[in-house]
Amino acid sequence: MRISIIGAGYVGLVSGVCLSEVGNRVICVDRIPERVQSILHGISPIYEPGLEDLLRRNLKNRRFTATQDLARAVKESDITLIAVPTPSRNGAIDLRYVRAATREVGHALRSKRAFHVVAVKSTVVPSTSDTIVRPLLQESSGKKAGEFGLCANPEFLKEGDAIKDFLRPDRIVIGSDEERSFRVFKKIYSRFHCPILHTNLRTAEMIKYAANSLLASLISYSNEIASIAEAVGDVDVVDVLRGVHLDARLTPFLEGAVSSLRGRLSPGIISYLKAGCGYGGSCLPKDVPALCTLAEKRGYEPGLLRSVISINQQQPLRLMKRLSHELGGLRSKKVAVWGIAFKPDTDDVRDTPAKPIVDSLVQAGAKVSVYDPFGLEAARKTLFQDTPLTYAQTQFEAAAGAHALVVVTSWPQFVNVDFRKLASLMKKRAFIVDGRRVYERWSVLAAGLRYLGVGYRESEAA
């Protein structure tokens, strides 16, 4: 199939490269000249493992290209995916880019006779495709719905695993309110072997929000249990959640296996039942509030999801409050922060827990040094333009002379660290603040460092 994709950001570029990898011909459209030129030269504007190799291969075999010319891309394709950003504005979804892209696509369709399917790939709240996108397409194209097709095709990509998620999906959701659009659109996935769920437009849009809200809820649930464990004392949330994970409904036994760890499955959902310093990134922090705002506009108060948001906002601040208490205040203390990206294997710093952590440290008068393997440049440009802090060249440079080290992102080089080397660089009996619970407490203590971890506090009696 010939496909045009409007938007060469994370979702658009990954989707475009992967769709070309399975045999489709793809034109990716973006308004930023530098981004288009970078893509045409085989240089990905975003960091995602494996993306650049696929990009170069499909540029070379001419199945993929990029352009600024939206009208040409639409006219030379059979299907258009709208994959533009849908940022958050005061907790609600901001659809300005979707509206603008829809109008331009409609104008391009005005002179096209062939049946053309437009699919919304961007994450949009339920009712967007049928009440906003469809009327705008009709108005700008001069055509009636049915003369063009409309689908909703949400993405389920995890940053750091996006290529695998796209090429080996667990499900494909296609929403359409009429059969012809669905039949044409599903052809782009003809080489995929997974369930294809056909729903109406609103249900497809809702599936994306329901999925992300569940993941966010699991994380905030884990962090609330961690906070209760801290309040009680001498309770380690890692062991608590490990005991929860061993419920066979979460980690089921393989058929015929005896009751042992080797005979169990370990579903990916378990990774969200883990305490830490909170979720971030481009999806959960904006999608959960957007769903809440939509629900409230429709007359329903989403109490559970509002609590999920509140717990996540407080989690990094709780951790810094504990550190301040242990150090007797943060003023003039040097604190190193390892990790700015919201998770490993990405340079995405959107809504990262590192932001409130660094801000609270600076506001308390601490001297902050930060390091991240890929996220420093984005942090300089978007997060900390006016924040007085030091950008270290290595993780050990950041930690040198520090009273405390806060681990925000579980990059492998942070997890597999030599604590004795770390202790020799930091202040005597400095704190390791384990914001992702990736360390064995006794290994930290054995090196002469002190340990402060999410979900664990020694009781006064101890």
What percent of the chain has a predicted confidence (pLDDT) above 90?
Answer: 94
Task: Give dist(CA 426, CA 451) in Å, integer.
Answer: 13
Q: pLDDT (tens digit, 9 = 90+) per residue, 203-242? A: 999 999 999 999 999 999 999 999 999 999 999 999 999 9
**278 within domain boundaries:** yes
Structure tokens at 162: 């996006």
User: What pLDDT is attached to residue 263?
Assistant: 79
Q: How far is CA 249 from the centre of its chain?
A: 26
The SS3 assignment for 405 reads strand
CATH of the domain at 296: 3.40.50.720
Residue in the structure block whose two tokens are 């990954």: 14
**144 within domain boundaries:** yes
Residue 276 phi, psi (nearest 5): -170, -160
Q: pLDDT (tens digit, 9 = 90+) per residue, 264-294? A: 888 999 999 999 999 999 999 999 999 999 9
User: What pLDDT is attached to residue 257?
Assistant: 63
Same domain, 183 and 240: no
**462 within domain boundaries:** no
Number of CB atoms found within 10 A of residue 225's CB: 18
Contact 95, 86 (CB under 8 A): yes
**Mean pLDDT of the 371-385 span:** 93
User: What pLDDT is attached to residue 261?
Assistant: 61
Which among 46, 5, 4, 1 has a CA at the least distance from the CA of 24?
Answer: 1
**369 within domain boundaries:** yes
Catalytic residue positions? 283
User: What pLDDT is attached to residue 260?
Assistant: 60
Same domain, 17 and 139: yes
Same domain, 146 and 289: no
Same domain, 186 and 39: yes
Residue 335 has pLDDT above 70, yes or no: yes
Q: pLDDT (tens digit, 9 = 90+) per residue, 119-166? A: 999 999 999 999 999 999 999 999 999 999 999 999 999 999 999 999
Residue 462 has pLDDT above 60, yes or no: no
Which among 308, 401, 407, 392 has a CA at the least distance from the CA of 353?
Answer: 407
User: What pLDDT is attached to residue 254?
Assistant: 84
User: What pLDDT is attached to residue 258?
Assistant: 61
**187 within domain boundaries:** yes
Same domain, 191 and 313: no
**Model pTM greater than 0.85?**
yes
Q: End-to-end CA distance of the chain, in Å?
A: 67
User: What pLDDT is attached to residue 264?
Assistant: 85
- Residue 113, burial from CB neighbour count under 10 angstroms (0-12, 13-18, 19+): exposed
Which among 150, 122, 125 has a CA at the least distance from the CA of 15?
Answer: 122
Q: pLDDT (tens digit, 9 = 90+) per residue, 231-264? A: 999 999 999 999 999 999 999 988 766 656 677 8
**172 within domain boundaries:** yes
**Mean pLDDT of the 332-339 span:** 98
Which residue would you say has higher pLDDT here, 70 or 253? 70
**Mean pLDDT of the 102-126 span:** 97
User: What pLDDT is attached to residue 209?
Assistant: 98
Same domain, 76 and 168: yes
User: What pLDDT is attached to residue 253?
Assistant: 86
Whole-number Cα distances in Å, 459 to 232, 234, 323, 384: 7, 6, 16, 37
Same domain, 288 and 191: no
What percent of the chain has a predicted confidence (pLDDT) above 70?
Answer: 98
User: What pLDDT is attached to residue 400?
Assistant: 98
Q: Which of 147, 171, 199 is the last residue of a domain?
A: 199
**270 within domain boundaries:** yes
The string over 154-191, giving b where at least 16 C-beta atoms fall within 10 Å of a residue's C-beta and e elsewhere, is bbbbbbbbbbebbeebeebbbbbbeeebbebbbebbee
User: What pLDDT is attached to residue 207?
Assistant: 98
Same domain, 268 and 320: yes
Q: Which of 146, 165, 199 is the last residue of a domain?
A: 199
Residue 461 has pLDDT above 70, yes or no: no
Same domain, 69 and 182: yes
The number of folded domains in the chain is 2
Same domain, 181 and 228: no
Boundaries of domain holding 380: 214-453
Same domain, 195 and 218: no
Task: Give dist(CA 173, CA 211) in Å, integer.
Answer: 12
Contact 80, 117 (CB under 8 A): yes
Same domain, 219 and 264: yes
Q: Which of 171, 199, 227 is the last residue of a domain?
A: 199
**460 within domain boundaries:** no
User: What pLDDT is attached to residue 459?
Assistant: 79
Contact 224, 310 (CB under 8 A): no
User: What pLDDT is attached to residue 60?
Assistant: 97
